[in-house]
Amino acid sequence: MAKLSTKSRNALPKGDFAGPDRSYPVNDRAHAIAAKARATQFASPAEKAKIDAKANRVLGTKSTAKELDRRLWSPESFRQKHNQKLSPEAADKAARMANAILKRGGSEKIAISTANKHGDQIQRELNRKK
């Protein structure tokens, strides 16, 4: 991330900040990512939503509830589209994992890859218990 000096920070327009009182600068991609991370740690839920929305505009990602709902997976749709060998129980856990990644702003490709990997592990554990 580029170092933001006091002089250059003071020169930024108000619109380049996501938080109150010129906090959480989002003047570039690196600062937008950092703002989202810090908001998760320190901001109230209401402030976090505003900071995330502003940072997502800089990052070019959509985070509307409607868009997120469209991206989320039901266990059955996950099983049909991505990993047909999973049992319903393993598919449920894998879909929940994929949805958690998507809700945190992760890409669909990463969510599916991670959920498939862990879904296979869950399936092996379930098979061993039988």
For residue 11, name the pLDDT band (cuts at 50, 70, 90). Answer: very high
**Pairs from 92-96 (Cβ < 8 Å, separation ≥ 24):** 93/118, 93/119, 93/122, 94/118, 94/119, 94/122
Q: Residue range 3-28: average pLDDT?
A: 91
| pLDDT (average), residues 64-91 | 72
pLDDT digits (tens, 9 = 90+) for 22-34: 999 999 888 988 8
pLDDT at 10: 92
Query: What 3-state class would DSSP assign to 17?
Result: strand
Mapping DSSP to helix (H, G, I), strand (E, B) and coil, where does residue 71 land?
helix
pTM of the predicted structure, to 2 decimals: 0.48
Domain layout of the chain by residue ranges: 16-59, 65-129
* pLDDT tens sequence across 93-126: 888 888 887 777 777 778 888 888 888 888 888 8
Task: Kindly tell me if the per-residue pLDDT of 78 is higher than 80.
Answer: no
Taking only the tens place, the pLDDT of each residue in 53-63 is 898 888 876 55
Neighbours of 59 (CB within 10 A): 17
Half-sphere exposure of 126 (CA within 13 A, CB side): 15
100-127: b (≥16 Cβ within 10 Å) or e = ebbeebeeeeebbebbbeebeebbeeee
CA distance 42 to 30: 18
